[in-house]
């Protein structure tokens, strides 16, 4: 029984260790600039924003409330309140999650969507091209 418990502890530790390796240090090719806001070109009357953090998180926003956001605003838990102050009407769809690096490529953990780093100032995600602004 004790050996079974030891094996289970080692197994859970291994899973925990492998799932916590999120940093993009293993990215092949161009590296993204972390904690900076990337913005898409205008699509209709809306913009898409994306930020990657060194801790393995991404923050994504689709909105027609503003064309400018700082990295602290995009990471804020009060993002929708901030957007309401910038403009009283419009729509906003924030999304955040974790990303992982697999074979030198960046993917979101939830749906395994690819984040293409085209250059340090240019990223492609969900068929949108984001530029460092």
pLDDT of 24-78, one tens digit each? 456 788 999 999 999 999 999 999 999 999 999 999 999 999 999 999 999 999 9
Report yes or no on 49 lying in a domain: yes
Report yes or no on 71 lying in a domain: yes
**Which range of residues forms the domain containing residue 126?**
24-132
Report yes or no on 15 lying in a domain: no
pLDDT bin (cut points 50, 70, 90) of residue 1 is: low
Per DSSP, the residues of 44-84 read TTBEEEEEE-TTSEEEEEEESS-S---HHHHH-TTHHHHHH
Whether 13 has a pLDDT exceeding 90, the answer reads: no
* pLDDT at residue 27, as a whole number: 77
> What is the spatial distance between Cα 64 and Cα 62, in angstroms, rounded to a whole number?
7
Given a contact cutoff of 8 angstroms between Cβ atoms, the answer to whether 15 and 8 are in contact is no
The pTM for the full model equals 0.79
Token pair 């068929």 is found at 127
Q: What is the CATH number of the domain that holds 122?
A: 2.40.128.500
- Comparing C-alpha atoms, which of 38, 32, 50 is closest to residue 120? 32
Average pLDDT over residues 117-130: 96
Report yes or no on 88 lying in a domain: yes
Given a contact cutoff of 8 angstroms between Cβ atoms, the answer to whether 100 and 111 are in contact is no
pLDDT bin (cut points 50, 70, 90) of residue 124 is: very high
* pLDDT at residue 6, as a whole number: 53
Parallel/antiparallel/unpaired status of strands 57-63 and 128-132: unpaired
Report yes or no on 16 lying in a domain: no
Number of separate domains in the chain = 1
User: How many C-beta neighbours within 10 Å does residue 132 have?
Assistant: 14
pLDDT of 84-120, one tens digit each? 999 989 999 999 999 999 999 999 999 999 999 999 9
Q: Which residues pair with 93 in a beta bridge?
A: 62
């Amino acid at each position: 029984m004790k050996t079974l418990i030891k094996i289970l502890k080692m197994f859970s530790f291994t899973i925990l260790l492998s799932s916590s390796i999120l940093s993009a240090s293993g990215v092949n090719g161009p590296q993204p600039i972390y904690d900076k806001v990337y913005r898409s070109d205008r699509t209709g009357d809306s913009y898409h924003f994306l930020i990657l953090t060194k801790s393995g998180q991404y923050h994504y926003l689709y909105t027609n409330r503003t064309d400018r956001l700082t990295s602290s605003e995009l990471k804020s838990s009060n993002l929708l309140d901030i957007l309401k102050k910038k403009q009283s009407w419009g729509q906003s769809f924030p999304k955040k999650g974790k990303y992982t690096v697999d074979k030198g490529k960046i993917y979101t953990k939830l749906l395994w969507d690819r984040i293409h780093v085209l250059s340090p100032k240019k990223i492609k995600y969900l068929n949108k091209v984001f530029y460092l602004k």
